Amino acid sequence: MAVTLTINGESKTVNAEDDTPLLWVLRDELNLTGTKYGCGIAQCGACTVHVNNLPRRSCVTPIKSIEGMQITTIEGLDGPVAEAVQAAWQKIDVPQCGFCQTGQVMSAVGLLNSIRKPDDADIDNGMTGNICRCATYVRIRNAIHDAAGILEKQK
């Protein structure tokens, strides 16, 4: 069945079953491999994308449920918040193995889009469910605080 999705600002028609998870359409049909497969049950956050500017786990999101919505992957992430997060991630040297970082960055951008100056509790709540096997949580938290500082200076 043909489903039309708006991904990174571009309309894409894919031939897939309505219940096909978005993750597999992104990776296998559209060759957008920045979004990672981690657990397949929405528990680890590696597959996080934005749907209408909100973080969503793509491994459990049927494509039919998001038809007509704006989908952003790591490849299409842009704007001041994304730039601040990416700069902070590099400055703090957050990644170790790097596997989870796509989902971490997408969740961090989502958090900062809703709370511009989060405290530690906001970060813990906003990043819940994003697992880092290398345990770089302190660096992730520091990078989110740093990104908030970058955004504050841009005002």
Looking at domain 80-153, its CATH superfamily turns out to be [2Fe-2S]-binding domain (1.10.150.120)
Distance CA 27, CA 140 (A): 26
Name the region of 11 (left: φ>0; alpha: ψ -120 to 50; beta: rest): beta
CATH class of the domain whose range is 2-76: alpha beta
pLDDT in tens, 101-127: 999 999 999 999 999 999 999 999 999
Q: Boundaries of CATH 1.10.150.120 in the chain? A: 80-153
From residue 107, give the alpha-carbon distance in Å to each of 50, 52, 54, 76, 113.
Answer: 8, 13, 9, 14, 10
Which part of the chain is CATH 3.10.20.30? 2-76
Q: Give the count of beta carbons closer than 10 Å to the beta carbon of residue 51.
A: 17
Q: What is the pLDDT of residue 155?
A: 80
Query: Does residue 80 surpass a pLDDT of 90?
Result: yes
Q: Each residue of 30-47: pLDDT tens digit? A: 999 999 999 999 999 999
Task: Report yes or no on whether pTM surpasses 0.85.
Answer: yes
